[in-house]
Amino acid sequence: MEMIYLDNAATTRVDDAVALAVNEVFLESYGNASSLHDVGQEAKRHLEGSREKIAAYFGCEPKEITFTSGGTESNNLAIRGLAKANPEKKHIVTSVIEHPCVLDTCKDLESEGYEVDYLKVDEQGIVSLDEVREKVRDDTLVVSVMHVNNEIGTLQPVEEIGIICRKKGVYFHTDNVQGFLKEDLALASIDLMSISGHKVQAPKGVGILYIRNGVKIKPILTGGGQENNLRSGTENVPGAVGLAAAIDVDFKIDEVRYSRDKIIEGLMKISGTRINGSLTHRVYNNINVSFYGIEGEALMLMLNEMGIFVSTGSACASTKLKESYVLKALDVDEMYIHGSIRLSLGVDVIGKEDYIVGKVSEAVEKLREMSPFKLPLEELGVGGSELGEGKIKGVAREVEDE
């Protein structure tokens, strides 16, 4: 059976060349980068070489790059580190669709007396610049808005948000875990930025926090004083080398984007289908799609049986369905939140678009046969699909075309 991995937003396979580079460090340059002897200094050269390569990629200074254990730690360091260094500022602005490592960090700070404003998103999952302007105050510590959402792939206007913050003299942080190496981002208006290795075919357990020179921040991990005193702990040299090596990976972005659009087109031929998020402001490899009358977990499992690996935003657990808070924030109809899956594509989809659409259609059909909910086709119109700009109660695209 053919296996197709469509969960690259969860994590990726390490690239062959990256794995070789990392392995060489494991075997040959295993020293502690803080040791003064030759073995340690050899490791340090690898660490600093990686930092320089990443800095060159972003056009920043190497000392603005701090290695961490991944996206979660980078986001924690950004928000908590700023909080520690700027205790007079007790207000935070973020969005309702951030990753849990940002949302729960903000909640944690709320319990310590911080006030947090959560920016709403529109039906495509995009925050409003006007709301950013309204919410920023004199005592705002940081505005934290992600570049690319992990569930729906929506791109936020982070450069513009950064400009607003800069004018108001407020720090701006962006979680760029899902956008790094995939979607361009100029650092000019950004003060802090989080990145993770395992989303870009580098190893798990390594990440970066970009911190613009002059930003007042304190460490949250204390100890040996590594990473310019910002992140104690023996340096993960193989991880750093892997992250730097990932810059050379060819993600075939244009081809995969083309495959994505071809798959979306194919899926839209299934009646009662909804593409969640924005069609225009969307990361090149994300498809978040809902099918009326079926349940995402069953669909995921059935596709799993067919060798197609996707993820779902809703799963029923304990006494209540755990709905995707992201789809809820987009005001997606309940029946469609249930039947949502996420396909996050890698290069192996190229040329397999029809095969994937065929398998998804087959699984949807099987589950629909089992479902007591029949498509309200009168309501949806012929074809009964829509592209997700409006609410599903609206008219189908096919009907609009006429």
Partner 1 sequence: MDAVVMGNVDYNKNVMEHFRNPRNMGELEDADAEATVGNPSCGDVMKIMIKVKDDVIVDIKFQTMGCAAAIATSSMATELAKSKTLEEAEKISNKDVSLALGELPPIKEHCSNLAADALRKAIEVYRKKTA
Pairwise CA distance, residues 383 & 380, whole Å: 8
Verify binding: residue 320, partner 1, rule CB under 8 A. Answer: yes
- Could you give the CA distance from residue 207 to residue 108 in angstroms, rounded to a whole number? 22
Neighbours of 210 (CB within 10 A): 24
243 binds ligand PLP (CB under 6 A): no
For 234, the 3-state DSSP assignment is coil
Instruction: Tell me the C-alpha distance between 209 and 77, whole Å.
Output: 8
> Site size for ligand PLP, by CB under 6 A?
13
Q: In what order do the strands lie in the sheet with 340-344?
A: 273-275, 286-291, 340-344, 311-312
Instruction: Respond yes or no: is residue 316 known to be catalytic.
Output: yes
**Distance of alpha carbon 76 from alpha carbon 209, whole angstroms:** 10
Binder of residue 70, out of Zn ion, ligand PLP, partner 1, none (CB less than 5 to 8 A by kind): ligand PLP
Strands 308-309 and 4-5: parallel
CA dihedral 258, 303, 366, 372 (to 10 degrees): -100
- Write out the binding residues for partner 1, residues 131-170 only, by CB under 8 A: 150-151
Closer residue to partner 1 in complex, CB, 137/204: 204
Size of the site for partner 1 (CB under 8 A): 39
User: Residue 327 binds which one of ligand PLP, Zn ion, partner 1, none, with CB within 5 to 8 A depending on kind?
Assistant: none
Q: Binding partner of residue 177 among partner 1, ligand PLP, Zn ion, none, CB under 5 to 8 Å per kind?
A: ligand PLP
Helix H or strand E segment including 253: helix 253-267
Q: What angle do CA 215, 212, 105 make, to 5 degrees?
A: 65
User: Considering the rule CB under 8 A, would residue 66 count as an interface residue with partner 1?
Assistant: no
Q: Is 297 in the site for partner 1 (CB under 8 A)?
A: yes
**Partner interacting with residue 326 (select from Zn ion, partner 1, ligand PLP, none; CB below 5-8 Å by kind):** partner 1
Partner interacting with residue 371 (select from partner 1, ligand PLP, Zn ion, none; CB below 5-8 Å by kind)? partner 1
Distance from the first to the final alpha carbon of the chain: 41
Q: Does 1 bind partner 1 (CB under 8 A)?
A: no
Q: Which does 334 bind (CB under 5 to 8 A by kind): Zn ion, ligand PLP, partner 1, none?
A: partner 1
Of 60, 106, 165, 316, which residue is the catalytic one?
A: 316
CB of 191 to ligand PLP, least distance (A): 17
CB of 169 to partner 1, least distance (A): 32
Q: Examine residue 316 and tell whether it contacts Zn ion (CB under 5 A).
A: yes
The distance of closest approach from Cβ of residue 336 to partner 1 in the complex, given in angstroms and rounded to an integer, is 10
Torsion of Cα atoms, 9 then 78 then 156 then 18, to 10°: -40
DSSP E strands, 83-237: 91-95, 115-119, 140-144, 171-175, 192-196, 207-211
Q: Which is nearer to Zn ion, 56 or 301 (CB)?
A: 301
> Per-residue contact track with partner 1, 331 to 370, x per CB under 8 A?
---xx--x---x--------------------------xx
Task: Return d(Cα 335, Cα 372) in angstroms, integer.
Answer: 13
| Element holding 66 (H helix, E strand) | strand 65-68
Type of residue at 3: M
The residues annotated with a catalytic role in the active site are: 316
Binding residues for Zn ion (CB under 5 A): 316
Binding residues for partner 1 (CB under 8 A): 9-11, 99-100, 150-151, 293-295, 297-298, 300-302, 305, 311-313, 315-322, 324-326, 334-335, 338, 342, 369-373
Binding residues for ligand PLP (CB under 6 A): 70-72, 99, 101, 146, 150, 175, 177-178, 196, 198, 207
